[in-house]
């Protein structure tokens, strides 16, 4: 798949077959996340890979939009580190870029993935920090569910909105 095609055909996938993904494939996906841009190349991220169904259950108990974890092979929590970021608040931007790379890499490898929002919801951040035993200076930004897709949605040709484009000024 060419990069541009991958960008415009990627969709959020919430239905999985339940099949397991090989660890080497998950490592490739994380590697793509680690190649995201970050402010001054600080790379203030950490990645928690989850494949434990008990942890999935705990997440599904508190997060209202995480039911897809029941059939997911893995989830990746992209976390920001206060001690590594370029300045206050920058880890959110950097980790978001890493999350997007993870979504695109999953799609490029024929897998399904969806970004399950954590940041900026304080209750979600705090609960996930507790479940994953994160240190005080590490904060979950995004949870990405990954699995073998049970569906194949089509690209949405209606996303290009020229009325939202301005040249040089408003």
The CATH architecture one would assign to domain 21-147 is: 3-Layer(aba) Sandwich (3.40)
| Structure confidence by residue, pLDDT tens digits, 108-129 | 999 999 999 999 999 999 999 9
Tell me the whole-structure pTM to 2 decimals. Answer: 0.96
| Structure confidence by residue, pLDDT tens digits, 130-153 | 999 999 999 999 999 999 999 988
Question: Distance between CA 17 and CA 126 in Å, rounded?
Answer: 30
Question: Distance between CA 61 and CA 41 in Å, rounded?
Answer: 36
Strand, coil or helix: 161: coil
């Amino acid at each position: 798949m060419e990069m541009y095609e991958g960008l415009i055909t990627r969709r959020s996938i919430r239905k999985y077959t339940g099949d397991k993904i090989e660890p080497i494939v998950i490592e490739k996906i994380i590697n793509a996340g680690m190649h995201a841009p970050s402010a001054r190349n600080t790379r203030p991220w950490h990645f928690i890979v989850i494949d434990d169904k008990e942890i999935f259950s705990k997440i599904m108990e508190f997060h209202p939009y995480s039911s897809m974890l029941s059939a997911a092979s893995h989830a990746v929590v992209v976390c920001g580190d206060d001690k590594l970021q370029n300045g206050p608040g920058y880890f959110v931007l950097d980790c978001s870029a890493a999350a997007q790379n993870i979504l695109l890499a999953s799609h490029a490898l024929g897998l399904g993935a969806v970004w399950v929002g954590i940041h900026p919801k304080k209750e979600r951040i705090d609960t996930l920090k507790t479940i994953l035993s994160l240190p005080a200076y590490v904060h979950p930004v995004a949870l990405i569910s990954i699995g073998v897709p049970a569906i194949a949605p089509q690209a949405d040709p209606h996303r290009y909105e020229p009325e939202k484009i301005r040249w040089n000024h408003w």
